[in-house]
Amino acid sequence: MALKCRDCGVVAHPECKLKCTEVCSPSTMLGRQAKGIYRVPGGERLVKDLREKYVAGKGTVALLQKVNQVHVVCGLLKDFLRKLKEPLVTHRLHPNFMQVAEIPDEDNATALLYQAIGELPKANRDTLAFLMLHFQRVMRSPQCQMDETNLARVFGPTIVGHGMAEPTPRTILMDTTVQPKVILCMLALPEDFWKHLLQKDQRGFSTPDNAINNNNNNNDGNPGSHELPRRMFMPLTSPEITLYNKPPSKASVHGRIRNFGHAFNK
């Protein structure tokens, strides 16, 4: 026997329904069925309008759930990451992450990646874990048609970015071929690893979506209650917000990275 949510379509065993880690909403189902999610643009004007509401302090979960075009919400996420003062991996740790994709020995590369992720600031580490868990769900959806290679192409330049605020044209050209490979390495890490990071950092909230959902429903207003921000993509900030005052097998990982590099250089 299994239970199926009428809103988002998630299926779970009766004894496991309370362990479901995803937000229950119709938008979740829409996202799972959106072909080319994150690859298809959401419309520049629509994304700009949504961004203006967001940075003006209206960027709540309720606002985003009212948007019936998934690609617009995805466009907002990409725009937000692109406008951060520094990439999610930070300027300081950027060389470490870039080195991961260049190390031929898989065990050494994985060890360095674990170390680099562990050294990230808590806000960056949590946000990265949120995104990787979400991307891994997208990869498993046949309707989305977005495998790890497509996601790496889209988010390599924004999540990994460059090691300086104003890179030279030569640096941009060199980094462009490596950034997606770093994302591929992250996506190859086990889902349990990313969940463990969130459980450790957020006192039992197993995913970012679940943390937001629990905060909306269970916050009793007591001074000792664990409060989480209602704004999406927090606690990271972008220049605009400041202005407003605000799992694959290991054996195949490096083979896919090499193939990706060949395809990217064609």
Q: pTM for this one?
A: 0.66
Query: How is residue 266 annotated by DSSP?
Result: -
Structure tokens given for 234: 């927090």
Structure tokens given for 189: 């890490």
Q: Is the dihedral of CA 103, 109, 115, 121 positive or negative?
A: positive
Residue 230 pLDDT: 38
pLDDT in tens, 93-147: 999 999 999 999 999 999 999 999 999 999 999 999 999 999 999 999 988 889 9
pLDDT in tens, 184-211: 999 999 999 999 998 876 554 333 444 3
What end-to-end distance do the CA atoms of the chain give, in Å?
50
